[in-house]
Amino acid sequence: MTDLARLDGTVFAPGSPGYEANRRPANVAYHDVRPRLVVSCRSTSDVVAVVSYAATAGERLAVRGGGHCFAGRSSTDGIVLDLSELNDVTVAADGVATIGAGARLGQVYPALHAHGRTLPAGCGPTVGITGLTLGGGIGLLGRQYGLTCDRLVGAQVVLADGSVVNCDDAHEPKLFWALRGAGGGQFGVVTALQFATVPEPLTTRVEAWWSDVAVERVMAAWQAWAPDAPDQLTVNLAVIAEPGEPVAVTAFGAATLPEADTHGLLREFTQLAGLPPVTELIPDMPVHRLKASFSDSGEPGRAVRIRSEFFTRPMPDDTLASLTSDLTAGPIHTTRQLSFTAMGGAYDRVPVGATAFAHRGQRFLLEHTAAAGDPWVDRSWHAAHGDASGRVYPNFPDLELDDWPAAYHAENHARLVEVKNAYDPHRFFRFPQSL
Ligand SMILES: Cc1cc2nc3c(=O)[nH]c(=O)nc-3n(C[C@H](O)[C@H](O)[C@H](O)COP(=O)(O)OP(=O)(O)OC[C@H]3O[C@@H](n4cnc5c(N)ncnc54)[C@H](O)[C@@H]3O)c2cc1C
């Protein structure tokens, strides 16, 4: 059996210094899970050793980047393989960035900014670049530049048999295809990612809050407007019910357009929604500062539950009315939030079979988020479900789905199973809803 005593990284066992700090994932819902070992890897050879050790010993292995998985897939009572120390970011003269698989977004954006480059990716600063990329990667620049995985040009992966493969369009192309959108942890442990970065644009930051508004009209206006806005403008919408407060609505996002043009476009939305105009925009923000400015959105200190779905068409009035009345129905003890994310634009300019991400052609994504245990999440999800496309973003795993292969993978599912059979035939990388 491989010797874990000779690693570049560190092994944390229960009772050893650092075990408590290292065993917990970022997602507080899984803070009680106690792994038998946490191995913090510092090199690809460490990853090979841990995979070989776990495979030989028949131990369950959970791969952890940022530790945010909503379904707890980076936690286990077996061995946690933690990649957070593999976090180097280098950028070559041609703009291709090589990023250690354990880097978090809060490390990636400033490192790319130092080279005048960036990536379309998410906002949470502690979200792992690899977890995000393997499931797709939706962000405020995505309608202009596509998913994070659309910028992936290569990856290094440690397979279940301990072999190390470098994949791209020309080498192991089926694996490379599958890494772009099937969701994390399916085929092997990714140790490094290579991205074709984009020149970092200056952005105009958008954020506005309103309360005491006609919520149904605002949601209808956003659904009609945001997915068809120019690609250079992404505006998302959140409808928030707090205990004892009137329902609040916030629109937030970014444009790679001048401030005056952004104002003009936002006026179309506020007029349609019957809202007072957006008064304050912040122009000329580089992307790493834009992202940092939205960094506290959605980082709850308590366990939350999220269910979501994609939509290809605006919701009818009766669905909008149900969502609105449900939001404040029954006792509200903690925050409930409906979050609408605009799709369209560059997300749809990649053919559906070109990557494993199956959800091209969707207009928007709706998340229902509340404290774990609040029955509103299911009620609200079901109220919208009849109008949804039935597609679910693999980075928002939902253990309640009736038909998860169709929801996550749609027409790509059969091809993904073939890749799984080829690269992990014994299902060493296994968790609920894995291929
Ligand atoms: C605060 C917050 C903000 C978010 N914002 C966005 C957003 O703007 N856009 C968006 O698209 N998504 C967003 N998400 C969702 C996010 O993309 C997923 O939760 C993602 O899976 C998190 O990856 P992680 O590395 O942080 O989590 P982890 O739990 O570490 O990993 C997630 C999954 O990927 C696997 N994995 C991780 N690293 C590797 C690796 N090196 N090799 C193989 N498998 C690996 C894990 O085993 C697990 O199955 C957000 C989530 C949170 C909590």
Q: 313 and 363 share a domain?
A: yes
CATH code of the domain covering residue 378: 3.40.462.20
The verdict on the CB of residue 221 being under 6 Å from ligand 1 is: no
Residues 132-188 have pLDDT tens digits of: 999 999 999 999 999 999 999 999 999 999 999 999 999 999 999 999 999 999 999
Q: What is the pLDDT of residue 280?
A: 87
Q: Which two tokens stand for residue 407?
A: 């929801």
Among residues 39, 97, 106, the alpha carbon closest in space to that of 68 is found at: 106
The verdict on the CB of residue 193 being under 6 Å from ligand 1 is: no
Among residues 232, 266, 238, the alpha carbon closest in space to that of 120 is found at: 232
Residue 435 lies in a domain: no
Residue 434 lies in a domain: no
Question: Whose CA is closest to atom 13 on ligand 1?
Answer: 122
Last residue of a domain, one of 82, 116, 145: 82
Residue 430 lies in a domain: no
Q: 206 and 196 share a domain?
A: no
The verdict on the CB of residue 395 being under 6 Å from ligand 1 is: yes
CA torsion sign for 177, 434, 391, 297 is negative
Q: What is the pLDDT of residue 296?
A: 63
Backbone angles phi, psi at 412, to 5 degrees: -85, -5
pLDDT under 70: residue ranges of the chain: 1-2, 296-300
CA of 122 to the centre of ligand 1 (A): 10
The verdict on the CB of residue 123 being under 6 Å from ligand 1 is: yes
Which residues neighbour 344 within 8 Å (Cβ) at sequence distance 6 or greater?
143, 227, 228, 231, 363
Among residues 278, 383, 285, the alpha carbon closest in space to that of 329 is found at: 383
Q: 395 and 415 share a domain?
A: no
Classify residue 217 as exposed, middle or buried by CB count within 10 Å of its CB (0-12, 13-18, 19+): middle
Residue 428 lies in a domain: no
CA of 66 to the centre of ligand 1 (A): 6
Residue 156 lies in a domain: yes
- Cβ neighbours, 10 Å, residue 349: 12
Q: Which domain holds residue 339?
A: 202-409
Residues 69-79 have pLDDT tens digits of: 999 999 999 99
Ligand 1 atom closest to the Cα of residue 393 is 11
Residues 99-120 have pLDDT tens digits of: 999 999 999 999 999 999 999 9
User: What's the structural domain count of the chain?
Assistant: 3
Helix 215-225 with 259-273: angle, nearest 10 deg: 130
Ligand 1 atom closest to the Cα of residue 63 is 47
* Percent of the chain that is helix, strand, coil (3-state, to 5): 30, 25, 45
Q: 218 and 295 share a domain?
A: yes
CA of 319 to the centre of ligand 1 (A): 30
Q: Which two tokens stand for residue 254?
A: 């970014």
Q: 187 and 335 share a domain?
A: no
CA of 199 to the centre of ligand 1 (A): 25
CATH code of the domain covering residue 60: 3.30.43.10
Q: What is the pLDDT of residue 297?
A: 46
Q: 214 and 269 share a domain?
A: yes
Among residues 166, 164, 105, the alpha carbon closest in space to that of 139 is found at: 105
DSSP 215-259: HHHHHHHHHHHGGGS-TTEEEEEEEEE-TTS--EEEEEEEESS-H
The DSSP element (H or E) to which 435 belongs, if any, is none
Distances (CA, A) of 9 to 12, 45, 130, 389: 10, 10, 19, 45
> What single DSSP character describes residue 274?
T
- Rg (the chain; Cα; Å): 21
Q: 30 and 101 share a domain?
A: no
The verdict on the CB of residue 69 being under 6 Å from ligand 1 is: yes
Last residue of a domain, one of 41, 58, 82: 82
**Which among 130, 343, 398, 428 is the best mutation to test ligand 1's pocket, defined by most ligand atoms within 8 Å of the CB?**
130
**Which among 64, 81, 365 is the best mutation to test ligand 1's pocket, defined by most ligand atoms within 8 Å of the CB?**
64
Q: Which two tokens stand for residue 286?
A: 């580089």
> What single DSSP character describes residue 314?
P
Ligand 1 atom closest to the Cα of residue 138 is 11
Question: Whose CA is closest to atom 35 on ligand 1?
Answer: 184
Last residue of a domain, one of 34, 50, 82: 82
Q: Where are the beta strands (DSSP E) in 36-180?
A: 37-40, 61-64, 79-82, 89-91, 96-100, 117-118, 152-158, 164-167
Q: 274 and 385 share a domain?
A: yes
The DSSP element (H or E) to which 285 belongs, if any, is strand 281-286
CATH code of the domain covering residue 98: 3.30.465.10
Q: 56 and 131 share a domain?
A: no
Q: 393 and 291 share a domain?
A: yes
Q: 208 and 331 share a domain?
A: yes
The verdict on the CB of residue 80 being under 6 Å from ligand 1 is: no
Residue 153 lies in a domain: yes
CA of 377 to the centre of ligand 1 (A): 21
Q: 69 and 206 share a domain?
A: no
Among residues 192, 190, 189, the alpha carbon closest in space to that of 429 is found at: 189
Among residues 45, 42, 34, the alpha carbon closest in space to that of 79 is found at: 34
Question: Whose CA is closest to atom 3 on ligand 1?
Answer: 124
Amino acid letter, residue 380:
S
Q: pTM for the whole thing?
A: 0.97
Residue 432 lies in a domain: no
Residue 213 lies in a domain: yes
- Cβ neighbours, 10 Å, residue 313: 13
